[in-house]
């Protein structure tokens, strides 16, 4: 089995280009060898032409041709050269232009500054087609675009939990909604609701996991519902299984609650105390019966495993109580649980009928020292992303990420990894912070005055970062 670690690209639409062409600039990504070869080739070409014109002029003078005839010959040759060499730009006055190398788009940085001089139209340049072997979606930067307008807001989409409704809950700033992820060497397409619904026509898409996966599910629903008339869409919510239906497309976008993927005594109702949670590490059957027959499955599990250093694992029935449990290191339990999930997928999923995705861990930002904010209070009052390339905080566990990769690589069913961890690591500014809920209730003024204990630096405001996760998911589809 070949692990499909897809890093997205696309062929831009006309709408994408009309928006991006005014803000994007191009930068070459040629190797030194390519640049040197291009320069030598073109220098040699022009040198030969100059020698040819010089020798022709000498012979013309020896033949005592009139000066106007000599000038005419030189001009004729020059025009022929310009017409022949398509790489010369008459508009810019450039003499030497390099061969086309692999290009990447870099959007204008905040306040209208740009990093290059040329503007490229990707619609007529096939070098912008995505190649998974050349483009890594995880490597790039967030760029501010004040003209970018989200497809929805928490006041226009009726399906957002108050936990993610930051504006409704009083968040005063809005810049966090205008940052776009820009990969280094490819373009991530804007989310097209119509394109997404066409891809889902006659299909079921199900997000499976914890509240962060619900965060992404609600983002996806809000993105597509914006173009659906009220009488052609519906939502049915349940404690475990919720379904949004787009009737015209005979499509559903669903969420299934399974925070560990495997069965636990804390699935429903939730047990707050991690020490009282018991994980049935050898079973997913109770949950998996809901996954059968789904066309597109998007799984996630991470943050619930990080509640404690050790987990109580159960082999067999819950009826055995504490007698049937043993304490395991969290990493060991995580590996066993994911193997149980992987075995079920390999045994029950037909890859010709069902596509399976796994979203990598969503980072937490509970330690402001990670981004050198020694006097900060977790993610509270952060209004801009981290700009340091490759930033990695304590809220992302590389060992657990390696566990996922190691298991997925050995599976028979192809799993597409949606690698959202690195790009989300930069977004310390986009969490719910003090503008969410706690236990189903909005924070009181007393709680808001204590961000150290009450700021939610795990979940994300909507619209926000999960919209980018869904851009990546749609590009895969």
Structural contact between residues 104 and 186, judged by C-beta atoms closer than 8 angstroms: yes
Torsion of CA 11, 15, 16, 22, to 10 degrees: 130
* DSSP secondary structure, 372-439, as one string: T-TT-BTTBT--S---STT---TTS-HHHHHHHHHHHHT-SS-EEEE--HHHHHT-TTSEEETSSEET
d(C-alpha 127, C-alpha 373), whole Å: 41
DSSP structure class, residue 37: H
End-to-end CA distance of the chain: 20
Whole-number Å distance between alpha carbons of 349 and 329: 30
| Residue 65: both structure tokens together | 């041709």
What is d(CA 185, CA 134) in angstroms, rounded to the nearest whole number?
8
Residue 381 structure tokens? 């009052």
3-state secondary structure of 364: coil
Cα separation, 455 vs 438, whole angstroms: 10
The b/e string for 275-302 (b: 16+ C-beta within 10 A; e otherwise) is eebbbbbbbbeebbebbeebebbbbbbb
Residue 299 Cα distances to 286, 288, 408, 418, angstroms: 16, 12, 12, 10
Q: How many CB atoms lie within 10 A of CB 436?
A: 24
Give the DSSP H/E element, type plus range, for residue 38: helix 32-62
Cα→Cα distances 85→44, 100, 128, 422, 435, Å? 13, 14, 24, 44, 60
Taking a C-beta distance cutoff of 8 angstroms, is the pair 256, 290 a contact?
Answer: yes
**What is the C-alpha to C-alpha distance for residues 316 and 324, in angstroms, rounded to an integer?**
7
Q: Catalytic residue positions?
A: 211, 456, 459
């Amino acid at each position: 089995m070949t692990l499909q670690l897809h890093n997205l690209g696309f062929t831009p639409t006309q709408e994408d280009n009309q928006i991006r062409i005014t803000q994007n600039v191009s930068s070459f990504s040629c190797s030194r060898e390519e640049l040197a070869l291009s320069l030598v080739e073109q220098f040699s070409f022009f040198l030969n032409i100059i020698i040819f014109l010089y020798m022709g002029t000498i012979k013309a003078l020896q033949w005592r041709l009139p000066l106007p005839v000599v000038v005419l010959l030189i001009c004729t040759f020059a025009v022929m050269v310009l017409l022949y060499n398509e790489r010369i730009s008459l508009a810019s006055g450039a003499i030497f232009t390099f061969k086309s190398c692999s290009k990447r788009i870099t959007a204008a940085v905040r306040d209208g500054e740009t990093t290059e001089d040329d503007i490229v139209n990707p619609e007529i340049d096939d070098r912008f087609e995505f190649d998974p072997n050349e483009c890594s979606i995880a490597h790039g930067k967030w760029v501010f675009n004040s003209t970018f307008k989200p497809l929805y807001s928490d006041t226009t989409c009726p399906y957002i939990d108050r936990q993610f409704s930051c504006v409704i809950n009083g968040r005063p700033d809005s810049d966090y909604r205008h940052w776009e992820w820009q990969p280094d060497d490819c373009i991530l397409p804007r989310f097209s609701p119509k394109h997404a619904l066409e891809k889902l026509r006659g299909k079921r898409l199900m997000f499976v996991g914890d509240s962060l996966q619900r965060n992404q599910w609600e983002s996806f629903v809000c993105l597509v519902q914006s173009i659906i008339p009220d009488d052609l869409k519906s939502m049915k919510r349940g404690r475990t299984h919720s379904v949004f239906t787009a009737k015209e497309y005979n499509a559903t976008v669903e969420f299934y609650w399974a925070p560990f993927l495997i069965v636990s005594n804390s699935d429903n109702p939730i047990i707050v105390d991690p020490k009282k949670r018991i994980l049935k590490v050898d079973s997913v059957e109770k949950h998996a019966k809901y996954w059968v027959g789904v066309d597109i499955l998007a799984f996630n599990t991470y943050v619930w495993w990080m509640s404690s250093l050790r987990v109580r694992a159960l082999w067999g029935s819950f009826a055995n109580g504490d007698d049937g449990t043993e304490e395991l290191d969290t990493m060991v339990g995580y590996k066993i649980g994911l193997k149980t999930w992987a075995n079920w997928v390999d045994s029950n999923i037909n890859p010709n009928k069902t596509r399976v995705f796994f979203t990598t861990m969503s980072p937490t930002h509970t330690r402001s020292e990670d981004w050198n904010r020694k006097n900060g209070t977790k993610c509270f009052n952060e209004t801009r992303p981290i700009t340091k390339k490759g930033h990695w905080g304590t809220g992302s566990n590389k060992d657990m990420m390696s566990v996922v990769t190691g298991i997925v690589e050995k599976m028979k069913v192809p799993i597409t990894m949606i690698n959202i961890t690195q790009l989300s690591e930069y977004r310390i500014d986009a969490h719910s912070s003090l503008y969410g809920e706690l236990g189903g209730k909005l924070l009181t003024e007393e709680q808001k005055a204590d961000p150290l204990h009450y700021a939610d630096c795990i979940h994300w405001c909507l619209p926000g970062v999960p919209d980018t996760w869904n851009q990546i998911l749609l590009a895969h589809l």
